[in-house]
A and B are shown apart, each in its own frame.
Chain A
Amino acid sequence: MLGIVRQKMLGQSLLKIRPAISVLRSYSSAAKQMTVREALNSALDEEMSADPKVFLMGEEVGEYQGAYKISKGLLEKYGPERVLDTPITEAGFAGIGVGAAYYGLKPVVEFMTFNFSMQAIDHIINSAAKSNYMSAGQMSVPIVFRGPNGAAAGVGAQHSQCYASWYASCPGLKVLSPYSSEDARGLLKAAIRDPDPVVFLENELLYGESFPVSDEVLDSSFCLPIGKAKIERKGKDVTITAFSKMVGYALKAAEILEKEGIDAEVINLRSIRPLDRSTINASVRKTNRLITVEEGFPQHGVGAEIWFEFSL
């Protein structure tokens, strides 16, 4: 995407910041910094403001301001009809979300973590993903299921699974996984605007991380295309594909490799379904070496799917 826009006049840049974005950090490079949390919050805010059919539903999203404070301030701004606190009944409220999407609304259903989405997986797959096909186009389901995915800090096996490969194997779903704030903003906006069911896999440990964002990213019409990966770091010796938190690790690894004289290319997948195979192919054709990195289980995982292309 675009590089960082360098602002010489900091005062002018302050005036250009939208009221929804209230935090400005680290002026050292004179670029705006934004945490992933703020990015998600602002994306939700802007989409809810632009389209009255968008509403948010989940455990603790309202009065608690969000289990991870992603939905902070939204209840005050939009009221209890559009920001709904649900009981701890994933199957029930996911089904209600899909039903509302059938009628034409645009729900954003939050799972406290995707581990709990297994309670609702029947609705995600059978009621949401397959409906457009089974009805030959009559019932589209413009719903977004979002929440933290993968491991947090030592939360135990039941709270640490990565669901990217499970959801990405299902036709009818789109699966997105952002890394930086730019990714978070652009992909969440794209997900909410998309007429298909989208599974939006965030990461709890990334919520507090700050990334530089350009003016274009801060604009309310900013949107990233679904199905396109981003080359975070260009290189020529080895391709490393990763998504979500692992992109950070891949970039750090690339720095270590650089000291050893190996120039790594890091691809941030962004979209797990559909997978941007042409970008990966072009990169591997250039480097002839591939490493896939993911938090999920290796068997039948995202890496296994990427490797399939190169195993022939």
Chain B
Amino acid sequence: MALSRLASSSSRSADLLKPLCSAISLRRPISTDTTPITVETSVPFTSHQCDTPSRSVQTNAKELFTFFRDMALMRRMEIAADSLYKAKLIRGFCHLYDGQEAVAVGMEAAITKKDCIITAYRDHCTFVSRGGTLLEVFAELMGRQAGCSRGKGGSMHFYKKDSNFYGGHGIVGAQVPLGCGLAFAQKYSKDEAVTFALYGDGAANQGQLFEALNISALWDLPAILVCENNHYGMGTAEWRAAKSPAYYKRGDYAPGLKVDGMDAFAVKQACTFAKEHALKNGPIRGKSLSLVEAIKLTSSCSVCCAYMQILEMDTYRYHGHSMSDPGSTYRTRDEITGVRQERDPVERIRKLILSHDLATEKELKDIEKEIRKEVDDAIAQAKENPLPESSELFTNVYAKGLGVESFGADRKEVRAILP
């Protein structure tokens, strides 16, 4: 890394060092340098009922490369899923996340596997960020046995319980009370962890969301509601669906933060802030309290007192709502290309890496080539994988099936044992 900096700064030594440099770069692994680098988020945070976190985010080369690699992988994976769908290898629903990768990657960087994440049906990338493999993704999309849900869930039902990823839900808004339930269980079990319940701008108007928000705030649950605002609920723009599209303010008494969801570092900063805030004793209001008030507040809270919040991630999806939606009937192509040129999350990291001289353009392109190959290999492997056996229609209906008998016409002969 030091050599490449020398190479770019000095033209004479560059001629000498160029062949050496390129030889080294081909064999050099992704940087593991952890010297701190400070980056600024694209825009400052806007808050509701709380302090704003700082715009300066601490990171390092290792993290930058991880972000780049993970987001490029997710991008490539979603585009490959698009082609597979058009080739009719993936059927049913397929909701793609490209454009929104920064939310998944930034959030994962701020938390541990003890924290829970639950999301809706646009879950492929969130599953990968929680540790899912490409084979599990493609096999599940194509309905094969090697899929994360053994081919029985499909695109909308990815789960990874060992990493505390709870899906993958098809009913809009249902995942929010479920997420608050996870937070409840974490508090009940005294786990010192939080739950991030993700939902979209379309789901933000659901009644059950406000019911869950009310109970979470009442019971001080360590729940963080994250609105992935991609500005369109299927084909309906946010201004046509919500009287108040300031989703971070909709919690009223709950603190909220508006975040640039296309900037992975802003997402990381906001999630770190939210997690700390949720696990601290007593609520923070950004106002100064008298000593007496402060003591009263802290003494009235139990050890694991939490305070739920809302994070609004201002993000964008390049694809339509799903594969059956071209995505251009309710928004202009100019808008889509505009966002892609100005706010693309992968490009932002690429520029950061290049501007900090951590790698050359070619090296980043090589990483992308590697990723492409990885994705293609996973797809090839998934294609070879068999479909589930017919007997799988009847398995897992119950955790403890009771073997109900099904009788024939004479009511004497048992024809089948059902779960």
**Which residues from chain A sit less than 8 Å from chain B, CB to CB?**
55, 81, 84, 86-87, 89, 91-105, 122-123, 126-127, 131-140, 142, 171-172, 174, 194-196, 226-227, 274-275, 277-278, 281, 284-285, 309-310, 312
Contact = CB atoms under 8 A, between A and B. Distances in A.
B365 interface: no
A104 to B, nearest CB: 7
Interface in B168-226: 168-171, 174, 176-186, 188-189, 207-208, 210-212, 214-215, 218-219
Given A172-B398, A195-B400, 8 more contacts: A87-B211, A93-B177, A96-B215, A98-B181, A127-B171, A135-B161, A172-B397, A226-B402
Contacts of A227: 402, 404
A172 B418 CA distance: 12
Interface residues of B, number: 55
A86 B215 contact: yes
A87 B152 contact: no
A22 B161 CA distance: 43
Interface stretch (B97-105, B251-259, B405-413): B405-413
A95 B183 CA distance: 12
A195 B399 CA distance: 6
A48 B165 CA distance: 28
Interface string B150-175: 11110001011100001111110010
B10 interface: no
B208 A92 contact: yes
4 closest pairs, A vs B, by CB?
Answer: A99-B181, A95-B177, A92-B211, A103-B185
A81 B220 CA distance: 12
A194 B185 contact: no
B397 A133 contact: yes
Nearest to B181: A99
B391 interface: no
B419 interface: yes
B181 A103 contact: yes
B215 A134 contact: no
A246 to B, nearest CB: 22
A287 to B, nearest CB: 13
B402 A99 contact: no
B116 interface: yes
Given A136-B150, A195-B399, A281-B407, A96 B161 contact: no
Contacts of A94: 177
A195 B169 CA distance: 21
B119 to A, nearest CB: 13
A91 B419 CA distance: 28
B397 A171 contact: yes
A224 to B, nearest CB: 13
Contacts of B179: 99
Contacts of A312: 409
A125 to B, nearest CB: 10
Which of A99, A100, A133, A137 has the most chain B CB atoms closer than 10 A to its own CB? A99
A76 B219 CA distance: 19
B229 interface: no
A101 B215 contact: no
A79 to B, nearest CB: 11
B398 A87 contact: no
B152 A278 contact: no
B126 interface: no
Given A137-B399, A195-B399, A277-B405, A285 B411 contact: yes
B341 to A, nearest CB: 39
A89 B214 contact: yes
Interface in B141-156: 149-153
Contact of B159 (A81, A139, A284): A139
A238 B399 CA distance: 37
B182 A102 contact: yes
B185 A100 contact: yes
A94 B218 CA distance: 16
B9 interface: no
Contact of B176 (A86, A95, A97, A278): A95
Interface string B377-406: 000000000000000000111111010111
Given A92-B177, A100-B181, A132-B399, A277 B215 contact: no
B150 A95 contact: no
Contact of A102 (B157, B178, B214, B411): B178
B259 to A, nearest CB: 24
